[in-house]
Amino acid sequence: MNTPHSAPVALVTGSSSGIGEAVAGRLAAAGYRLVINSARSVENGRKVAAALPDAVYVRADISVEEQARHLVARTVEEYGRLDVLVNNAGMTRPIPHADLEGATPELWRDVFALNVFGTWQTTVAAMPHLRAHGNGVVVNVSSVAGSRPAGSSIPYAVSKAAIEHMTRLLAKACGPEVRVNAVAPGLVETPWTRDEPFFAPIADMVRQTTPLRRVGTPQDMAQAVLDLVGSTYTTGQVLLVDGGAHLI
């Protein structure tokens, strides 16, 4: 493990719960100093930061460019460097794919503002700092919906497809100083998916039909992120983490 003054720094957006919280915890255990972020869940975010060995919480809505830049600036102000950016923050609203009218232009704008533009804005703001030491890492959180005709809504699925292609383009543009990869989770059990009725039948199907016969956990996704952070000869890849659901 690095000494406190040389320990690398990771920023995980949307890390007050669920996958982001698990990713932060796994990176902290690997010796990283952490910046925890959310747009609304301030109390939870502060609790997550307080539970880690060396972490701070910064509230910011990355769909707003000024706030995305502020988030990165606060990270560097606090720790003097940035080594890993995990773009986890995202949103959706379950809408049946056949309900075309339900997927309003307003919803498309909201989904893309956070999932796509927020990811882009935070990455652009972070890139000079990630390049500074010659071994920066970006890991984007996508979804199986980015490559399959699935997902909680069409706008959500299209936003994740955009993130996956953004990942490949950034990897090509930002090497060799920065590696850019993505994880694409299948269904993951989080407080939100447990409480949202839309996901119950999907979870049952996953448990009955997929090779691993279970729904994913935030810790499964955190391990995948950590694997990509440490995979020093991998860039431009989208790692599918779905328990084998793509095989059925």
Query: Strand, helix or coil at 53?
Result: coil
Q: Kindly tell me the burial class for residue 212, based on how many C-beta atoms sit within 10 Å of its own C-beta (0-12, 13-18, 19 or more).
A: middle
Rounded CA-CA distance 57/43 in Å is 10
* Sequence letter at residue 104: T
Question: Is 156 labeled as catalytic in the residue annotation?
Answer: yes
**Closest Cα partner for 228 from 165, 198, 184?**
184
Q: What is the 8-class DSSP label of residue 213? A: -
Residue 58, strand partner residues:
37
What value, to the nearest 5°, has the Cα angle with vertex 139 and ends 80 and 145? Answer: 150
Alpha helices in the chain (DSSP H): 18-29, 42-50, 65-79, 105-112, 119-131, 154-174, 191-195, 200-209, 218-230
Active-site residue (options: 32, 57, 79, 156): 156
Q: Kindly give, in sequence order, each residue whose CB lies less than 8 Å from that of residue 221, ignoring residues fewer than 6 positions away.
A: 19, 22, 23, 141, 183, 185, 188, 241
* Cross-sheet strand order for the sheet of 9-12: 55-59, 33-38, 9-12, 84-87, 136-141, 178-185, 238-241
Rounded CA-CA distance 27/40 in Å is 23
Catalytic residues: 156
